[in-house]
Chains A and B, each alone.
Chain A
Amino acid sequence: MRALYLQAIDQHRHRVLSFAHYSLRVREDAEDVTQEVFIKLWQHWQKIDHEKLGAWLMRVAHNSVIDHVRKQRPQQTNLDQYAQVEDQVGEESDVTHLDQHHFKSQLQSAIKSLEDPFRSIVIMRDIQGMSYEEIQGSLELSASQVKVYLHRARRKLRENSKLRQLFEEQIADRSEVKKSIALVASNDKGNGHVQ
Protein backbone atom coordinates (compact mmCIF):
# COMPACT_ATOMS: atom_id res chain seq x y z
CA MET A 1 0.00 0.00 0.00
CA ARG A 2 2.76 2.44 0.98
CA ALA A 3 4.54 2.17 -2.37
CA LEU A 4 1.30 2.77 -4.27
CA TYR A 5 0.48 5.68 -2.02
CA LEU A 6 3.85 7.34 -2.63
CA GLN A 7 3.44 6.72 -6.33
CA ALA A 8 0.03 8.44 -6.26
CA ILE A 9 1.57 11.42 -4.45
CA ASP A 10 4.31 11.76 -7.06
CA GLN A 11 1.79 11.57 -9.85
CA HIS A 12 -0.67 14.19 -8.51
CA ARG A 13 1.21 16.49 -6.13
CA HIS A 14 1.94 19.30 -8.64
CA ARG A 15 -1.59 19.35 -9.94
CA VAL A 16 -3.09 19.52 -6.45
CA LEU A 17 -0.73 22.29 -5.32
CA SER A 18 -1.30 24.27 -8.53
CA PHE A 19 -5.03 24.04 -8.15
CA ALA A 20 -4.83 25.22 -4.54
CA HIS A 21 -2.39 27.99 -5.44
CA TYR A 22 -4.46 29.47 -8.24
CA SER A 23 -7.58 29.18 -6.11
CA LEU A 24 -6.16 30.77 -2.96
CA ARG A 25 -3.05 32.73 -4.01
CA VAL A 26 -1.55 32.29 -0.54
CA ARG A 27 1.43 29.98 -0.47
CA GLU A 28 0.89 28.61 3.04
CA ASP A 29 -2.79 27.92 2.48
CA ALA A 30 -2.08 26.15 -0.80
CA GLU A 31 0.46 23.95 0.96
CA ASP A 32 -1.97 23.24 3.79
CA VAL A 33 -4.59 22.17 1.29
CA THR A 34 -2.10 19.90 -0.45
CA GLN A 35 -1.15 18.25 2.83
CA GLU A 36 -4.79 17.81 3.80
CA VAL A 37 -5.58 16.21 0.47
CA PHE A 38 -2.83 13.60 0.71
CA ILE A 39 -3.51 12.87 4.38
CA LYS A 40 -7.15 12.20 3.44
CA LEU A 41 -5.90 9.99 0.66
CA TRP A 42 -4.00 7.93 3.25
CA GLN A 43 -7.01 7.77 5.56
CA HIS A 44 -9.46 6.75 2.84
CA TRP A 45 -7.09 4.62 0.77
CA GLN A 46 -9.14 1.42 1.08
CA LYS A 47 -12.47 3.08 0.27
CA ILE A 48 -11.36 4.89 -2.89
CA ASP A 49 -12.07 3.76 -6.42
CA HIS A 50 -8.48 3.87 -7.66
CA GLU A 51 -9.59 4.00 -11.28
CA LYS A 52 -10.81 7.53 -10.52
CA LEU A 53 -8.07 8.58 -8.15
CA GLY A 54 -7.28 11.83 -10.01
CA ALA A 55 -10.88 12.98 -9.91
CA TRP A 56 -11.17 12.01 -6.24
CA LEU A 57 -8.07 14.01 -5.33
CA MET A 58 -9.28 17.08 -7.20
CA ARG A 59 -12.69 16.82 -5.54
CA VAL A 60 -11.06 16.71 -2.10
CA ALA A 61 -8.79 19.61 -3.09
CA HIS A 62 -11.80 21.59 -4.32
CA ASN A 63 -13.70 21.02 -1.05
CA SER A 64 -10.64 21.88 0.97
CA VAL A 65 -10.14 25.11 -1.00
CA ILE A 66 -13.76 26.09 -0.37
CA ASP A 67 -13.22 25.56 3.36
CA HIS A 68 -10.11 27.75 3.27
CA VAL A 69 -11.92 30.47 1.30
CA ARG A 70 -14.68 30.52 3.92
CA LYS A 71 -12.11 30.86 6.69
CA GLN A 72 -10.19 33.57 4.81
CA ARG A 73 -13.07 35.83 3.89
CA PRO A 74 -12.76 38.24 6.86
CA GLN A 75 -9.02 38.83 6.21
CA GLN A 76 -8.74 39.47 2.49
CA THR A 77 -5.73 41.78 2.86
CA ASN A 78 -3.36 38.85 3.03
CA LEU A 79 -4.03 37.78 -0.54
CA ASP A 80 -1.81 37.93 -3.58
CA GLN A 81 1.40 37.66 -1.59
CA TYR A 82 2.35 34.75 -3.81
CA ALA A 83 2.03 36.61 -7.08
CA GLN A 84 5.75 36.31 -7.82
CA VAL A 85 5.50 32.68 -8.83
CA GLU A 86 5.37 33.45 -12.49
CA ASP A 87 8.90 34.84 -12.20
CA GLN A 88 9.85 31.27 -13.12
CA VAL A 89 9.34 32.42 -16.71
CA GLY A 90 12.71 34.19 -16.68
CA GLU A 91 14.12 37.64 -16.28
CA GLU A 92 13.95 40.14 -19.11
CA SER A 93 13.99 43.86 -18.56
CA ASP A 94 12.11 45.11 -21.60
CA VAL A 95 8.91 47.02 -21.14
CA THR A 96 6.76 44.49 -22.96
CA HIS A 97 7.76 41.70 -20.60
CA LEU A 98 7.07 43.83 -17.51
CA ASP A 99 3.63 44.56 -18.92
CA GLN A 100 3.03 40.88 -19.46
CA HIS A 101 4.15 40.16 -15.94
CA HIS A 102 1.73 42.73 -14.60
CA PHE A 103 -1.00 41.42 -16.86
CA LYS A 104 -0.51 37.83 -15.68
CA SER A 105 -0.45 38.87 -12.06
CA GLN A 106 -3.72 40.73 -12.57
CA LEU A 107 -5.09 37.74 -14.42
CA GLN A 108 -4.37 35.46 -11.46
CA SER A 109 -6.13 37.87 -9.13
CA ALA A 110 -9.09 37.89 -11.49
CA ILE A 111 -9.20 34.09 -11.55
CA LYS A 112 -9.04 33.94 -7.78
CA SER A 113 -11.87 36.42 -7.45
CA LEU A 114 -14.22 34.27 -9.55
CA GLU A 115 -16.98 32.51 -7.68
CA ASP A 116 -16.96 28.76 -7.49
CA PRO A 117 -17.39 26.62 -9.59
CA PHE A 118 -16.29 29.12 -12.29
CA ARG A 119 -12.87 29.49 -10.70
CA SER A 120 -12.30 25.75 -10.31
CA ILE A 121 -13.40 25.01 -13.87
CA VAL A 122 -11.11 27.65 -15.39
CA ILE A 123 -8.16 26.35 -13.37
CA MET A 124 -8.85 22.72 -14.15
CA ARG A 125 -9.59 23.18 -17.83
CA ASP A 126 -7.49 26.12 -19.02
CA ILE A 127 -4.50 26.01 -16.66
CA GLN A 128 -4.26 22.32 -15.86
CA GLY A 129 -5.61 20.99 -19.13
CA MET A 130 -7.94 18.46 -17.52
CA SER A 131 -10.48 16.74 -19.73
CA TYR A 132 -14.17 17.49 -19.42
CA GLU A 133 -14.71 13.98 -18.01
CA GLU A 134 -12.13 14.54 -15.28
CA ILE A 135 -13.71 17.87 -14.38
CA GLN A 136 -17.15 16.28 -14.29
CA GLY A 137 -15.88 13.63 -11.88
CA SER A 138 -14.03 16.15 -9.73
CA LEU A 139 -16.84 18.66 -9.34
CA GLU A 140 -19.75 16.24 -9.70
CA LEU A 141 -21.29 18.24 -12.55
CA SER A 142 -22.76 17.14 -15.86
CA ALA A 143 -20.85 17.63 -19.13
CA SER A 144 -23.19 20.39 -20.27
CA GLN A 145 -22.85 22.18 -16.91
CA VAL A 146 -19.06 22.11 -17.17
CA LYS A 147 -19.14 23.65 -20.66
CA VAL A 148 -21.67 26.31 -19.72
CA TYR A 149 -19.77 27.25 -16.55
CA LEU A 150 -16.49 27.37 -18.44
CA HIS A 151 -17.88 29.83 -20.99
CA ARG A 152 -19.40 31.95 -18.24
CA ALA A 153 -16.13 31.91 -16.34
CA ARG A 154 -14.19 33.12 -19.37
CA ARG A 155 -16.74 35.85 -20.02
CA LYS A 156 -16.47 36.96 -16.40
CA LEU A 157 -12.70 37.14 -16.75
CA ARG A 158 -13.05 39.30 -19.84
CA GLU A 159 -15.42 41.55 -17.95
CA ASN A 160 -12.74 42.28 -15.35
CA SER A 161 -12.19 46.00 -15.71
CA LYS A 162 -8.53 46.01 -14.63
CA LEU A 163 -7.64 43.32 -17.14
CA ARG A 164 -9.37 45.20 -19.93
CA GLN A 165 -7.62 48.41 -18.97
CA LEU A 166 -4.21 46.73 -18.98
CA PHE A 167 -4.91 45.13 -22.33
CA GLU A 168 -5.97 48.44 -23.90
CA GLU A 169 -2.89 50.16 -22.47
CA GLN A 170 -0.70 47.50 -24.03
CA ILE A 171 -2.45 47.87 -27.38
CA ALA A 172 -2.04 51.63 -27.19
CA ASP A 173 1.67 51.26 -26.30
CA ARG A 174 2.25 48.90 -29.21
CA SER A 175 0.54 51.21 -31.67
CA GLU A 176 2.64 54.09 -30.30
CA VAL A 177 5.78 52.00 -30.77
CA LYS A 178 4.71 51.12 -34.31
CA LYS A 179 4.06 54.77 -35.07
CA SER A 180 7.48 55.72 -33.68
CA ILE A 181 9.19 53.04 -35.74
CA ALA A 182 7.34 54.17 -38.85
CA LEU A 183 8.28 57.79 -38.10
CA VAL A 184 11.96 56.93 -37.61
CA ALA A 185 11.93 54.89 -40.81
CA SER A 186 10.38 57.71 -42.83
CA ASN A 187 12.90 60.21 -41.38
CA ASP A 188 15.73 57.88 -42.28
CA LYS A 189 14.45 57.66 -45.87
CA GLY A 190 14.17 61.47 -46.03
CA ASN A 191 17.76 61.78 -44.79
CA GLY A 192 19.01 59.32 -47.42
CA HIS A 193 19.90 56.48 -44.99
CA VAL A 194 19.93 52.99 -46.43
CA GLN A 195 17.74 50.49 -44.56
Chain B
Amino acid sequence: MSSNGESKCYFIQLQIDGYLDGDLSEAQQGVFMSHVQDCSACASEFRYAQTIQDAVIELPQIECDDLVLEPVYELAAGGRLGKDEVHRDSLIAQIGGLLNSVPLYFRYGFSAALVAVVAVVVSFSVVTPIEGPETLVASESVEQYSREDIVQALHELNVAMDYVSQLSQRTEVMIGDRFLVTPLQDSINASFQRVRTREYDPLQNGPI
Protein backbone atom coordinates (compact mmCIF):
# COMPACT_ATOMS: atom_id res chain seq x y z
CA MET B 1 0.00 0.00 0.00
CA SER B 2 1.34 3.43 -0.90
CA SER B 3 2.00 6.09 1.75
CA ASN B 4 -0.85 8.09 0.24
CA GLY B 5 -3.14 5.10 0.73
CA GLU B 6 -1.93 4.61 4.32
CA SER B 7 -2.66 8.21 5.25
CA LYS B 8 -6.08 7.88 3.61
CA CYS B 9 -6.77 4.75 5.66
CA TYR B 10 -5.59 6.55 8.79
CA PHE B 11 -8.07 9.40 8.28
CA ILE B 12 -10.89 7.05 7.32
CA GLN B 13 -10.38 5.00 10.47
CA LEU B 14 -10.42 8.18 12.54
CA GLN B 15 -13.91 8.79 11.15
CA ILE B 16 -15.33 5.42 12.15
CA ASP B 17 -16.87 6.68 15.40
CA GLY B 18 -18.24 9.74 13.65
CA TYR B 19 -19.86 7.52 11.05
CA LEU B 20 -21.35 5.18 13.67
CA ASP B 21 -22.70 8.16 15.63
CA GLY B 22 -24.15 9.74 12.48
CA ASP B 23 -22.00 12.83 12.92
CA LEU B 24 -20.62 12.88 9.34
CA SER B 25 -22.09 15.00 6.60
CA GLU B 26 -23.56 13.27 3.54
CA ALA B 27 -20.46 14.06 1.50
CA GLN B 28 -18.18 12.67 4.23
CA GLN B 29 -20.35 9.56 4.50
CA GLY B 30 -20.04 9.01 0.73
CA VAL B 31 -16.25 9.27 0.83
CA PHE B 32 -16.11 7.03 3.88
CA MET B 33 -18.26 4.24 2.45
CA SER B 34 -16.64 4.25 -0.96
CA HIS B 35 -13.23 3.82 0.69
CA VAL B 36 -14.43 1.09 3.05
CA GLN B 37 -15.90 -0.86 0.11
CA ASP B 38 -12.59 -0.74 -1.73
CA CYS B 39 -10.17 -1.23 1.21
CA SER B 40 -10.26 -4.60 2.99
CA ALA B 41 -8.17 -3.35 5.95
CA CYS B 42 -10.53 -0.43 6.61
CA ALA B 43 -13.54 -2.68 5.99
CA SER B 44 -12.28 -5.11 8.62
CA GLU B 45 -11.58 -2.30 11.09
CA PHE B 46 -15.02 -0.83 10.45
CA ARG B 47 -16.72 -4.20 11.02
CA TYR B 48 -14.76 -4.68 14.23
CA ALA B 49 -15.74 -1.21 15.53
CA GLN B 50 -19.36 -1.79 14.55
CA THR B 51 -19.42 -5.18 16.28
CA ILE B 52 -18.09 -3.70 19.51
CA GLN B 53 -20.43 -0.75 19.33
CA ASP B 54 -23.45 -3.00 18.76
CA ALA B 55 -22.40 -5.31 21.58
CA VAL B 56 -21.97 -2.42 24.00
CA ILE B 57 -25.36 -0.97 23.11
CA GLU B 58 -26.97 -4.38 23.56
CA LEU B 59 -25.64 -4.84 27.09
CA PRO B 60 -28.71 -5.07 29.30
CA GLN B 61 -29.78 -2.63 31.97
CA ILE B 62 -29.40 -4.41 35.33
CA GLU B 63 -32.65 -4.71 37.25
CA CYS B 64 -32.50 -3.42 40.80
CA ASP B 65 -34.51 -5.64 43.17
CA ASP B 66 -36.39 -4.28 46.15
CA LEU B 67 -34.12 -6.39 48.36
CA VAL B 68 -31.14 -4.29 47.32
CA LEU B 69 -32.86 -1.14 48.54
CA GLU B 70 -34.37 -2.61 51.70
CA PRO B 71 -32.11 -0.55 54.03
CA VAL B 72 -33.01 2.55 52.08
CA TYR B 73 -36.73 1.88 52.38
CA GLU B 74 -36.32 1.28 56.11
CA LEU B 75 -34.57 4.60 56.43
CA ALA B 76 -37.39 6.38 54.64
CA ALA B 77 -40.09 4.54 56.60
CA GLY B 78 -38.44 5.28 59.94
CA GLY B 79 -38.05 8.94 59.05
CA ARG B 80 -34.58 8.99 60.53
CA LEU B 81 -32.67 12.02 59.38
CA GLY B 82 -29.13 11.99 58.12
CA LYS B 83 -26.31 13.66 60.02
CA ASP B 84 -26.27 16.66 57.71
CA GLU B 85 -29.95 17.23 58.13
CA VAL B 86 -29.74 17.03 61.90
CA HIS B 87 -27.04 19.68 61.95
CA ARG B 88 -28.86 21.84 59.45
CA ASP B 89 -32.21 21.89 61.25
CA SER B 90 -32.64 24.15 64.22
CA LEU B 91 -33.73 22.83 67.60
CA ILE B 92 -37.14 24.42 67.14
CA ALA B 93 -37.53 22.75 63.73
CA GLN B 94 -36.62 19.40 65.22
CA ILE B 95 -39.11 19.82 68.07
CA GLY B 96 -41.69 20.91 65.51
CA GLY B 97 -41.02 17.82 63.43
CA LEU B 98 -41.33 15.63 66.50
CA LEU B 99 -44.60 17.25 67.50
CA ASN B 100 -46.00 16.88 64.01
CA SER B 101 -45.63 13.15 64.30
CA VAL B 102 -47.76 12.84 67.47
CA PRO B 103 -51.52 13.31 68.02
CA LEU B 104 -52.97 16.81 68.40
CA TYR B 105 -53.98 16.50 72.04
CA PHE B 106 -50.47 15.38 72.93
CA ARG B 107 -48.95 18.37 71.17
CA TYR B 108 -50.77 20.87 73.39
CA GLY B 109 -50.20 18.79 76.50
CA PHE B 110 -46.51 18.55 75.67
CA SER B 111 -46.27 22.29 75.05
CA ALA B 112 -47.96 23.12 78.36
CA ALA B 113 -45.73 20.71 80.25
CA LEU B 114 -42.66 22.17 78.56
CA VAL B 115 -43.67 25.72 79.59
CA ALA B 116 -44.33 24.57 83.15
CA VAL B 117 -40.95 22.88 83.43
CA VAL B 118 -39.18 25.95 82.06
CA ALA B 119 -41.04 28.21 84.52
CA VAL B 120 -40.09 26.03 87.50
CA VAL B 121 -36.45 25.86 86.47
CA VAL B 122 -36.28 29.63 85.97
CA SER B 123 -37.94 30.36 89.30
CA PHE B 124 -35.48 28.13 91.12
CA SER B 125 -32.47 29.69 89.51
CA VAL B 126 -33.53 33.39 89.54
CA VAL B 127 -35.69 33.96 92.61
CA THR B 128 -33.73 34.08 95.88
CA PRO B 129 -35.44 32.18 98.63
CA ILE B 130 -36.80 34.32 101.46
CA GLU B 131 -35.24 33.28 104.68
CA GLY B 132 -37.11 33.61 107.92
CA PRO B 133 -35.61 35.19 111.03
CA GLU B 134 -34.76 31.80 112.47
CA THR B 135 -32.77 30.93 109.37
CA LEU B 136 -30.99 34.27 109.59
CA VAL B 137 -29.96 33.73 113.17
CA ALA B 138 -28.94 30.18 112.48
CA SER B 139 -26.82 31.05 109.48
CA GLU B 140 -24.94 33.89 111.09
CA SER B 141 -22.44 33.35 113.78
CA VAL B 142 -23.08 35.88 116.50
CA GLU B 143 -19.69 35.47 118.05
CA GLN B 144 -17.96 36.62 114.88
CA TYR B 145 -18.86 40.31 115.50
CA SER B 146 -17.55 42.37 118.38
CA ARG B 147 -19.69 44.99 120.06
CA GLU B 148 -17.63 47.73 118.36
CA ASP B 149 -18.40 46.24 114.95
CA ILE B 150 -22.09 46.33 115.68
CA VAL B 151 -21.92 49.92 116.92
CA GLN B 152 -20.07 50.92 113.77
CA ALA B 153 -22.61 49.14 111.55
CA LEU B 154 -25.53 50.78 113.31
CA HIS B 155 -23.86 54.15 112.96
CA GLU B 156 -23.42 53.73 109.23
CA LEU B 157 -26.96 52.50 108.85
CA ASN B 158 -28.16 55.54 110.78
CA VAL B 159 -26.23 57.89 108.51
CA ALA B 160 -27.73 56.18 105.49
CA MET B 161 -31.24 56.41 106.91
CA ASP B 162 -30.69 60.07 107.71
CA TYR B 163 -29.75 60.71 104.12
CA VAL B 164 -32.79 58.87 102.82
CA SER B 165 -35.00 60.77 105.27
CA GLN B 166 -33.72 64.12 104.05
CA LEU B 167 -34.27 63.03 100.51
CA SER B 168 -37.77 61.91 101.37
CA GLN B 169 -38.61 65.22 102.98
CA ARG B 170 -37.26 67.23 100.03
CA THR B 171 -39.27 65.24 97.50
CA GLU B 172 -42.27 65.06 99.87
CA VAL B 173 -42.74 61.36 99.44
CA MET B 174 -44.98 60.21 102.25
CA ILE B 175 -46.91 57.16 103.25
CA GLY B 176 -50.14 58.14 104.86
CA ASP B 177 -49.44 61.28 106.88
CA ARG B 178 -45.90 60.44 107.83
CA PHE B 179 -42.58 60.49 106.10
CA LEU B 180 -41.42 57.00 105.28
CA VAL B 181 -38.16 56.85 107.11
CA THR B 182 -38.82 58.85 110.22
CA PRO B 183 -40.06 55.99 112.43
CA LEU B 184 -37.31 53.76 111.17
CA GLN B 185 -34.73 56.36 111.98
CA ASP B 186 -36.18 56.84 115.46
CA SER B 187 -35.95 53.13 116.10
CA ILE B 188 -32.36 52.96 114.90
CA ASN B 189 -31.40 55.89 117.05
CA ALA B 190 -32.91 54.22 120.06
CA SER B 191 -31.02 51.02 119.40
CA PHE B 192 -27.86 52.95 118.85
CA GLN B 193 -28.29 54.67 122.18
CA ARG B 194 -28.90 51.39 123.96
CA VAL B 195 -25.76 49.83 122.56
CA ARG B 196 -23.68 52.80 123.56
CA THR B 197 -24.81 52.58 127.14
CA ARG B 198 -24.18 48.78 127.15
CA GLU B 199 -27.31 48.21 129.11
CA TYR B 200 -29.05 46.29 126.38
CA ASP B 201 -27.96 43.60 123.93
CA PRO B 202 -29.27 44.61 120.48
CA LEU B 203 -28.69 41.14 119.08
CA GLN B 204 -31.36 39.65 121.26
CA ASN B 205 -34.22 41.91 120.21
CA GLY B 206 -32.88 43.49 117.06
CA PRO B 207 -31.95 47.14 116.54
CA ILE B 208 -34.96 47.98 114.40
Contacts and interface: CB of A to CB of B under 8 A. Distances in A.
Contacts of B56: 107, 111, 122, 126-127, 157
B59 interface: yes
A111 B56 CA distance: 9
Contacts of A107: 52, 55-56, 59
A14 B55 CA distance: 20
Contacts of B44: 171
Most-contacted residue by chain A among B44, B49, B64, B72 (CB, 10 A): B64
Nearest to B49: A158
A3 B6 CA distance: 61
B61 A14 contact: yes
A44 B84 contact: yes
A17 B66 CA distance: 12
Most-contacted residue by chain A among B62, B81, B88 (CB, 10 A): B62
Contacts, number: 102
B95 interface: no
Given A107-B52, A167-B48, A5 B76 contact: yes
Nearest to A20: B62
Nearest to A13: B64
Interface residues of A, number: 49
Contacts of B122: none
B57 A42 contact: no
A103 B61 contact: no
A34 B59 contact: no
B68 interface: yes
Interface in A81-109: 85-86, 88-89, 100, 103-104, 107-108
A43 B86 CA distance: 9
B111 interface: no
B53 interface: yes
A15 B49 CA distance: 25
B69 A9 contact: yes
A128 interface: yes
B62 A17 contact: yes
Given A13-B69, A35-B71, A127 B59 contact: yes
A131 to B, nearest CB: 13
Given A154-B53, A158-B49, A108 B59 contact: yes
Given A34-B69, A107-B52, A127-B61, 14 more contacts: A2-B77, A9-B72, A14-B63, A16-B64, A18-B62, A34-B68, A39-B82, A43-B81, A43-B85, A88-B60, A103-B55, A108-B59, A126-B53, A127-B59
Interface of B: 17, 44, 47-49, 51-53, 55-64, 68-69, 71-73, 75-77, 79, 81-85, 88
